[in-house]
Amino acid sequence: MSASASGLAFSPKQAGAIGRKAFLAGAAGGIVAGTAAAAGAAVEANNQINKKSPYEPSLDSLKGQVIVITGGSTGLGLESAKRLSAAGATVVFTSRTAAKGEKAMESVMDYLNNRGIGEKAKVYNIVLDLDNLDSVKAFPGSYKQLGLGNIDVLMNNAGVMAVPDLQLTKDGYERTFQSNHLGHFVLTAGLFPMLSKEKATVINVSSEAFNFASTKNGQGLDFENLNGERIYGPWSSYGLTKLANILFTQELQRRADNAGISGLTVVALHPGAVATDLGRYLVGEEKWNELKTKGPSGFEAFALNAASIFTKTVPEGASTQVFLAAGADGTLKKGSFYEDMKEKKNLPKWAKDETAAKELWEISEELGGVRFNL
């Protein structure tokens, strides 16, 4: 169940209202559910409603593949790291801090050891802070030091959702914009020379929340408000970045095609409404950790339980990006947008605006301080 409003224009205020309703209904990509204790019954109901098993590539089917995943210390990124490494891939996942990376590594290894394949696993962690462009630009050098060779799949998964107030990064940019788009643009530019020349895939995790992106005159990318210069809204800003993910996907694919780079495939996806830790950006780190440890009460418990009925579990939500990283059974379509492991062909015109995609590319180069030449 996803929040979709194709053909309708939202003001930032309206987008915020829709976002709050989407949260309670479990309907904007990356929506949160409650703790296991508080939401157990609802999650069980959800499992009964949604019978789809999480997609898992077969054992050793990805042997020899190198996959880099941003934001691999929690949620969809962590789940992707587990399942792709279980299929034999060499996985490099990122985390904001070394401590978070160590904890995630333990989780991955527990997952693999429980399946009896931990001894042959090749899993690595590198610290990456997308909110700090110095960290982003240093990442390719850190990757090289691992000596793993070319990258077969780059999964731009990390991000934040509905940050409640305007926050600026170390580089002076709106946090949602830098975390979700600009940081990944700079990272992809830096890692591009290391992508496999024979066959490589770049996966950008977007969301149906791109429908929340609006300009003064309708829906689309607001170039006058990329960093909240005109007005900031938690959901409108999130929607803007999710639209940016889609436009970046299309422009990167166009430029690769024009440059004769036939081995590159770039795709974007909506994972669905997923019960992940992204909820910490809605209520704050302290409150979120309290909810996780003590459990919600009163209306919080009611709302979160109700929402969880309509959300996917993390294993379910990771299926599309795992499917794409594994090659989509040989059916990957260049520059496409996927949902539930299928290509979504009916994106609105403003989400396929070539002029806007080109302008976003040029602005991203300027803001990121890079030249992304193919």
The residues annotated as belonging to the active site are 238
How far is Cα 261 from Cα 197, in angstroms, rounded to an integer? 8
Q: How far is CA 73 from the centre of its chain?
A: 13
Note whether 319 and 341 are within 8 A (CB).
yes
Note whether 143 and 136 are within 8 A (CB).
no
The edge-to-edge listing of strands for the beta sheet with 66-69 is: 122-127, 90-95, 66-69, 153-156, 200-205, 264-270, 337-339, 342-343
> Can you tell me whether residue 276 is helix, strand or coil?
coil
Sign of CA dihedral 18, 20, 23, 29: positive
How far is Cα 202 from Cα 155, in angstroms, rounded to an integer? 6
Give me the DSSP letters along 149-174.
-SBSEEEE-------SS--B-TTSSB
How far is Cα 290 from Cα 139, in angstroms, rounded to an integer? 33
The amino acid at 252: L
> Can you tell me whether residue 6 is helix, strand or coil?
coil
Note whether 65 and 90 are within 8 A (CB).
yes
CA dihedral 335, 336, 338, 344 (to 10 degrees): 160
> Can you tell me whether residue 239 is helix, strand or coil?
helix
The number of helix segments (H) and strand segments (E) in the chain equals: 14, 10
How far is Cα 161 from Cα 146, in angstroms, rounded to an integer? 31
